[in-house]
Structure 1
Amino acid sequence: MFYIITTTVRATVNAYNSYKDPRVEHLPLVGSPLPVFGIVALYLFFSLKWGPKWMEIRKAYDLKNLIAIYNAIQVVANAGIVIFGMKYTVIHGNYSTLCQPVDSTNVQPWMNTLVKICYCYYITKYLDLLDTVFFVLRKKNSQISFLHVYHHFGMVLAVYLYMKFLAGSHSTMLGLVNGFVHTIMYGYYLVTSIKPSYGKSLWWKRYITQLQLLQFGYLLIHFSLVIFWNTCGHPLWVGILGGMQSLFMLCMFSEFYFKAYLRKKKVN
């Protein structure tokens, strides 16, 4: 058993060192995985245990102004990622949305710019963790669901692996689609953080969830392309894991949508 464990660990380390992207090794939170795991562990500990317990004997914080600024930053950051990302993917003639290979030796100017945009998207995943922190400090623990926490820390780990091994590849479209959804979503949050009364009157709240469902539906198709129509030699395991994760999130958000809107409508 010990031999199997040590052999597995050694093989994992060798693969990690062999396939890592030298173009991004110098960037903060990309080199070593230890700080990433540390941040995720701290996030989970604060969100699920220490934070709620610490707030038990305290009044909820009024974070209206801070949250408005945070939402505005998210809108600008995600919109910028989408606009510039589209320029160097869908619009750019050298990038294929059907099957873009993994090529860490590609240091052409357009690809270097795309990798930098991808890194900006990666950093926003850490910024997203503040959503949960604000819930805790405002004593909105009912909103800290399994889906919420899983999605946030899972995205940090997933995009870390993307930056480490797949920057500028087929998986890049995940960031652009997700960035577009987040632009709309945080735009809604920005409006409601300034005018809380709009939260129940804005018609687009329900359609944000529908947009998220479309997002995971598209990503399921996108990752399926490298499973059934792999013309660029993209790693098959990425397509399989990406497709499974997209299907899982599609099911989770579908369940949420049914409970929040369809079943509620039937009851009313």
Structure 2
Amino acid sequence: MESISGIWQSYGLKQDPRTYGYPLVTNPVFVSTVIATYLYIVRNGERWMEDRKPMDLRWVMRVHNLFMVIANVAFIAICFPLTYGNGSYSLFCQGITGRDDYASRLLIRSGFYYIFVRYLDFFDTFFFILKKKFSHVSNLHVIHHTIVAFNASFFFGFAPEGQPGLGLFINASIHVIMYGYYFMATFPALRKYLWWKKYLTQLQIGQFIFAIFHMSIPLVYDCGFPRYLVYFATSQVILILGLFLNFYVKTYLTRRREEREQVLAAITPPATEPKKQL
């Protein structure tokens, strides 16, 4: 415990003492190893699958997606009543209380388990690789998963409560919808009902915009939440927002405009030159 805390302190950071009992996910060596392993698989996955057939993972994906829906619902059901649900958290600006009562310990313990749920997001990438859908393993996809995995451990160690809470609950709610979408997509008969993917992306973009503004409140209103954590969080959310906006423009605006132009070109008769008068 001391050696792990010492690693953080060598960078001028002080770990929340209430998380000392969870050394694995607050250990930068462990977290770095997990993320490095993920990136190694991403880098080499296409080469490993080069001479192999795509794998049929429908049932594995169904179990995974259903579990992720249940896990995110459980996290909200346990933690929301301990915070905003009972009025002990401010929706506007919430600092770190430092309380060590039963409710706080349950909140932190639930956060610990939720970190591993965020690590399980990596399997989205692994499924794409094993199914040889390499185009889905985009920069947005990889950067997003990497940042989320790192932040889950980082903020658990230094801010296991406080201002990020509201954004975290919103994010967990969106994950319920997202993994529900993924679950339905594994059933061919249900795919005709999945016309709303565009709006799911809009919902994700909306949550990032909200998170930037909400997380920035402690910069102008002192409620006891460390400002360096605000700068750290908002800078990453801005990056992710930019990547999502770029994806949205390319996928739903530019591509649709090109498709409309192709349709118009196909139905418009070619222009003919006027006949010359003799």
Measure, in 2, the Cα distance between the counterparts of 1:234 and 1:189.
Answer: 36
How does the TM-score come out when normalised to structure 1? 0.88
Residue in structure 2 matching 1:52, options 28, 46, 54: 46
Q: Is the 8 A contact 2:80 2:169 kept in 1?
A: yes
Residue 63 of structure 2 corresponds to residue 69 of structure 1: yes
**Equivalent residue number for residue 158 of structure 1:** 151
Q: Is the 8 A contact 2:8 2:15 kept in 1?
A: no
Measure, in 1, the Cα distance between the counterparts of 2:206 and 2:192.
Answer: 23
1:196-207, aligned counterparts within 5 Å?
Answer: 196=188, 198-199=190-191, 201-207=193-199
AA matched with 1:233: G
Residue 76 of structure 2 corresponds to residue 118 of structure 1: no
**Equivalent residue number for residue 147 of structure 1:** 140
1:217-256, aligned counterparts within 5 Å?
Answer: 217-230=209-222, 232-256=223-247
Superposed CA RMSD in Å reads 1.9
Measure, in 2, the Cα distance between the counterparts of 1:188 and 1:43.
Answer: 24
Unaligned runs of 5+ in 2: 1-5, 261-278
AA matched with 1:47: V
**Other structure's SS at 2:120 match:** helix
Measure, in 2, the Cα distance between the counterparts of 1:31 and 1:11.
Answer: 9
**Equivalent residue number for residue 39 of structure 1:** 34
Measure, in 1, the Cα distance between the counterparts of 2:52 and 2:150.
Answer: 32
**Other structure's SS at 1:216 match:** helix
Tell me the CA shift for residue 106 of structure 1. Answer: 1.1
**Other structure's SS at 1:253 match:** helix
Q: Is the 8 A contact 2:122 2:145 kept in 1?
A: yes
Residue 173 of structure 2 corresponds to residue 180 of structure 1: yes
Moved more, 212-221 or 113-122: 113-122
Measure, in 1, the Cα distance between the counterparts of 2:196 and 2:110.
Answer: 28
**Equivalent residue number for residue 88 of structure 1:** 82
**Equivalent residue number for residue 10 of structure 2:** 13
Unaligned runs of 5+ in 1: 1-8
Measure, in 1, the Cα distance between the counterparts of 2:150 and 2:240.
Answer: 15
1:122-133, aligned counterparts within 5 Å?
Answer: 122-133=115-126
Tell me the CA shift for residue 54 of structure 1. Answer: 1.0
Tell me the CA shift for residue 257 of structure 1. Answer: 1.0
**Equivalent residue number for residue 6 of structure 1:** none
**Equivalent residue number for residue 271 of structure 2:** none
Measure, in 2, the Cα distance between the counterparts of 1:89 and 1:115.
Answer: 12
Percent identity, please.
33
Residue in structure 2 matching 1:97, options 88, 91, 115: 91
Q: Is the 8 A contact 2:26 2:156 kept in 1?
A: no
From the superposition, tell whether residues 12 and 22 of structure 1 become closer, same or farther in structure 2 (CA, over 3 Å).
closer
Tell me the CA shift for residue 34 of structure 1. Answer: 1.0
Aligned residues: 254
Larger CA Rg, structure 1 vs 2? 2
Tell me the CA shift for residue 93 of structure 1. Answer: 2.0
**Other structure's SS at 2:209 match:** helix
AA matched with 1:100: Q
Measure, in 2, the Cα distance between the counterparts of 1:97 and 1:116.
Answer: 22
